[in-house]
Amino acid sequence: MRLIGTARDRPDVDVTGVHQRYLRMPQAPAGLAIGLFGGSFNPPHEGHALAAETAIQRLKLDRLWWMVTPGNPLKDRNALAPLAERIAKSEKVAAHPRIDVTAFEAVTGAGFTADTLAHIRRRNPAVYFVWIMGADSLADFHHWQRWEEIAETYPIAIIDRPGSTLAFLSSRMARTFDHARVDEDDAALLPRLEPPAWTFIHGPRSALSSTEIRNEKTVENIDRTSRHIRK
């Protein structure tokens, strides 16, 4: 079954072509350790997959939800590819047996990450969730709606990104919750620790960037158009 039009509770979200299974929250049996890896994935790339797989391995996760969001309030929505397209590309990139690609946020009515995470917690009180984010997001994390609430509700795993290895030293989140930092060697304990609790995970890094990929495609399209006009 495919849904056509807009999400019931988010009239600004176009779910045309999105299969219903992506608009349902994945199954979460009690006692599992599940990573929540959210983003616009515009487009998804191997760097995202590397971060997800690193989190699965280092945090000893049973599952990871690759959450394709309707849009990021801090980013330009005009540059956002259709949700169905980002889901399809995520399925190709996130080819791991423990990863569930989902876009249920499109129909929850949640406007911000804090709302989505509160909704997940209410629905799954007996599951051990970890919020996973790239180190490049740390600089802006304190601008997120109710960011302190997120840190006090979910353990957080920060995955290293090129150019952001030392970001945690100066970020407001790290300074505010310095007392709650968990040694990287104990990362596997994070899912079952009482928040606030966070760790910074070093590991293999990819220099790929969604922004750079979009910019490269824009240049390619301009060059292609120019060649066509010259002909």
Give 7-63 pLDDT, tens digit per residue: 434 446 789 999 999 999 999 999 999 999 999 999 999 999 999 999 999 999 999
Distances in Å between the Cα of 58 and the Cα atoms of 62, 89, 169 are 11, 25, 21
The confidence band for 166, taking pLDDT boundaries of 50, 70 and 90, is confident
User: Can you list the domains of the chain with their CATH numbers?
Assistant: 2-230 (3.40.50.620)
What does the buried/exposed string (b/e) look like for 22-43 if buried means 16 or more CB atoms within 10 Å of the residue's CB? Answer: bbebbebeeebbbbbbbbbbbb
Q: CB neighbours of 193 closer than 8 A, spacing ≥ 6?
A: 155, 182
The CA distance from 146 to 162, in Å, is: 27
Give CA torsion, residues 209, 199, 145, 44, to 10 deg: 20
Indicate the length of the chain as a whole number: 231
> Model's pTM, two decimal places?
0.84
The confidence band for 75, taking pLDDT boundaries of 50, 70 and 90, is low
Closest CA to 176 of 206, 194, 201, 150: 150
What whole-number percentage of the chain has pLDDT above 70?
A: 79
* Residue 72: Cβ-neighbour burial (10 angstroms; 0-12, 13-18, 19+): middle
For residue 2 the two structure tokens come to: 């495919």
